[in-house]
């Protein structure tokens, strides 16, 4: 594009002097489509902004895309009964167990309404704030990716990790930039050349992610220092204790520890000293996001179950995909302690798991 052509487009309000230029009231904006299918190229698209629908125009288009493509791409895209089963399991696993919004309180009509809804879920890659001039970069995904059984979007997952927000992205994804300071909203440009690990916005997102982690660490250290000096949070002591999330309660799904590096996730289960390989039933699969683990000798301990992780249904999905054929397990004895240990090879290297299971569970440990 020549300088004169660029100047002409700027004059007509089609783009500013830069993708994040907020001084121009654009008539159209650019965004990027990231297909889950790696054989398809990523695309830079242009959308004309309809009058008085600058905020809604992209979301409307993406909802339609996810409704149509999700029905074709998802393993359960056309199986409403299966989607309902998975959605109910998700809601039950995140409910409070006391009738406070769990799936048990949903009527059939409410569940049908939930299934009929289609949303484009925004995932903040660069959260807007004063530090970014209230410029946000968001990834938009199908909000029902799990219940539809959508495949992993490897490129989008890697981009999310590069931006300091590691997570598994399911199905097609779109990336767009906006300006939003709560008083004014503008759609800005996001172009294909910005989908690289050294893009300026990714470097900024990484820096901000590190700052957030350091701030959390500072707060934790300060609270620990106060506690060491005998300081007591009277409000916290007096307040009634909220019930634990079901995924955090002691039970058969919590009898394990886990840690990770860039390439593998290690699962550890402490077992009775006489446990042998004959007592262990471990299967990686079916598929790349499931495993089953049962250890017979655990049932000898009061309050314990032999069942550690299930591969039945979709409740115990692993947080991200693994390579089953390269994963392995063994029984080890260190300093007189017997333990089951499994090495799960990550399909997406360098992407951090936020939990072992999608439904939550014990925090990452070091061992």
Predicted confidence (pLDDT) per residue in 243-287, tens digit: 434 433 333 444 789 999 989 999 999 999 999 999 999 999 888
The β-bridge partners of 268 are 257, 341
Confidence of residue 166 (pLDDT cuts 50, 70, 90): confident
Length of the chain: 367
CB 95 within 8 A of CB 246: yes
Tens-place pLDDT, residues 179-227: 998 889 999 999 999 999 899 999 999 888 878 766 654 555 555 555 5
CA-nearest of 343, 320, 336 to 258 is 343
CA angle in degrees (0–180, nearest 5) for 292-296-301: 120
The β-bridge partners of 88 are none
Instruction: Check whether 98 has a pLDDT greater than 60.
Output: no
Helices 154-162, 200-228: crossing angle, 10 deg rounding: 60
Max Cα–Cα distance, the chain, nearest Å: 80
Separation of first and last alpha carbons in the chain: 57
Domain 246-345 has CATH 2.60.40.790: yes
CA-nearest of 122, 135, 121, 120 to 205 is 135
pLDDT score for 248: 37
CA distances from 73 to 65, 89, 150, 162, 317 (A): 11, 22, 6, 26, 19
Q: Where in the chain is the domain with CATH 2.60.40.790?
A: 246-345
Tell me which of 7-11, 123-127, 144-148 is least confident: 7-11
Say how many C-beta atoms besides its own lie within 10 A of residue 56's C-beta.
Answer: 11
Reduced DSSP (H G I as helix, E B as strand, rest coil) percent helix, strand, coil of the chain, to 5: 35, 25, 45
Strand runs labelled E in 150-290: 173-180, 185-187, 257-260, 264-270, 280-284
Q: Answer whether the bond into residue 286 is a cis peptide, omega within 30°.
A: yes
């Amino acid at each position: 594009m020549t300088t004169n052509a660029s100047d002409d487009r700027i004059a007509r309000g089609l783009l500013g002097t830069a993708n994040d230029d907020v001084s121009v009231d654009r008539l159209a904006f650019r965004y990027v489509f990231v297909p889950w299918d790696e054989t398809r190229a990523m695309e830079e698209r242009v959308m004309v902004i309809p009058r008085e629908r600058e905020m809604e125009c992209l979301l409307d288009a993406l909802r339609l895309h996810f409704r149509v493509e999700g029905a074709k791409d998802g393993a359960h895209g056309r199986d409403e009964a299966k989607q309902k089963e998975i959605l109910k399991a998700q809601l039950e696993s995140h409910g409070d167990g006391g009738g406070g919004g769990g799936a048990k309180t949903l009527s059939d009509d409410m569940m049908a309404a939930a299934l009929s809804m289609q949303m484009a879920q925004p995932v903040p890659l660069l959260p807007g704030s004063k530090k970014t001039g209230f410029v946000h970069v968001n990834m938009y995904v199908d909000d029902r990716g799990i219940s539809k059984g959508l495949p992993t979007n490897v490129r989008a997952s890697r981009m999310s990790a590069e931006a300091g927000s590691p997570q598994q992205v399911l199905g097609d994804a779109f990336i767009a930039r906006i300006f939003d300071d709560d008083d004014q909203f503008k759609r800005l440009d996001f172009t294909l050349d910005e989908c690289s690990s050294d893009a300026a916005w990714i470097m900024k997102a990484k820096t901000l992610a590190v700052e957030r982690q350091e701030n959390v660490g500072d707060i934790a250290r300060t609270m620990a220092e106060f506690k060491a000096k005998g300081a007591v949070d009277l409000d916290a002591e007096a307040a009634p204790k909220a019930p634990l999330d079901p995924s955090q309660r002691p039970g058969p799904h919590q009898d394990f520890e886990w840690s990770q590096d860039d390439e593998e996730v290690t699962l550890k289960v402490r077992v009775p000293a006489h446990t042998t390989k004959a007592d262990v039933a471990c299967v990686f699969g079916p598929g790349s996001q499931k495993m089953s683990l049962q250890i017979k000798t655990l049932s000898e301990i009061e309050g314990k179950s032999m069942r550690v992780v299930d591969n039945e249904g979709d409740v115990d999905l692993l947080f991200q995909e693994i390579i089953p054929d390269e994963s392995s397990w063994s029984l080890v004895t260190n300093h007189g302690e017997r333990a089951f240990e499994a090495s799960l090879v990550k399909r997406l290297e360098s992407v951090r798991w936020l939990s072992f299971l999608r439904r939550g569970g014990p925090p990452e440990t070091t061992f």
